[in-house]
Structure formats: C-alpha cells, structure tokens
Amino acid sequence: MITIRAARLDEFDLIWPLLRDVFAAGDTYAVDPAITKTDALAYWMTQARATYVAEGPDGIVGTYYIKTNQPGGGAHICNCGYIVSPTARGQGLAARLCTHSQDQARALGYTAMQFNFVLASNTGALRLWHRLGFDTVGTIPDAFDHPSLGMVDAHVMYKRL
C-alpha cells in the first residue's frame, strides 16, 4: 500500500537519498551530478509550487514536484519532475505519481503540463508519458552529454489538462 501525500520540508532528509542517487548517476536529469543537499532542497522543494512523496511501509519510495513552467503569460503551464526508488520501480508508481500530479496541477489552476527535457535515452519515461497522453512537441538534438552514451537528444513533451 503506497500513499501519495504532500511532502514536508522537515522530511527532506528522507527525500534527499532518492534525489542524490538519481542526480549523481547523471543519466536522466540535467542537474549537476555533484549538486549539494542545500541546492537540491531548493530545486526540489522550496522553488516548487508543491512537492509530494509516495510513502509505503518501508518509507518514502517516490517523489515529484510541480513548478510553474514560465512566469507571466506562460504561468498556466506547469512542469513536473519525478523520481522513484529503485526498490519501487516496475510497479506502476511513476504512472500513479504522474496521474496524481495532473490532478494536483488542475487543482492549482494549471491548464497544461510540459516536460522540458525528456532524454531520448530514457525510453521507459518516454513510453509512459506517451501512454498517459503526452505528445512530443519538439526535439533538441544533442542536448545532453550522457555519461555512457555520449550526446543524446532531449524531447519537449506537452499535455493539456
């Protein structure tokens, strides 16, 4: 049984290991692999409009944030980022987090969601986002220097909410 709920700032120490490991791998997020805990807190929680965690019997196994993608005239579109613990992968949690985020985004007044930088090498994410109704609206050639694959494209994905 996994519950998705709002994250609290005082539990960032429980979220940090998930972020640290994914960011350090350097193969899915365009984040400095050596990001500090303080900078990760700002990126994932304090700069976000909302942050959520997926919690199971063994603790936090996933997390996501919602941010306004652009200010002013673009503020009706949000951006989200998701991370699932290796121990919880393959169980549909990313799909649950994305569906939950769309409901929360609507409740916050957003009318669309955009993923700015989905790596072409992240085939599982691409397959899932397409299955959940996102369209690829653009491709940035050689946008990311992957640690093992070299230069890979990044996709911009979009969905009206």
pLDDT tens figures, 3-28:
999 999 999 999 999 999 999 999 99
**What is the domain count for the chain?**
1
Cα–Cα nearest to 119, from 94, 149, 159: 149
pLDDT tens figures, 73-128:
999 999 999 999 999 998 999 999 999 999 999 999 999 999 999 999 999 999 99
Q: Which domain holds residue 66?
A: 3-160
CATH, residue 33: 3.40.630.30
Residue 70: phi, psi to the nearest 5? -140, 150
User: What is the C-alpha separation between 18 and 30, in angstroms, rounded?
Assistant: 16
Cα–Cα nearest to 115, from 143, 139, 81: 81
% helix / strand / coil in the chain, to the nearest 5?
A: 35, 35, 25
What's the pTM value of the predicted model, to 2 decimals?
A: 0.94
State how far Cα 90 lies from the chain centre: 16
State residue 100's pLDDT score: 98
- Strands laid side by side in the 135-146 sheet: 3-6, 50-56, 59-68, 77-84, 112-119, 150-160, 135-146
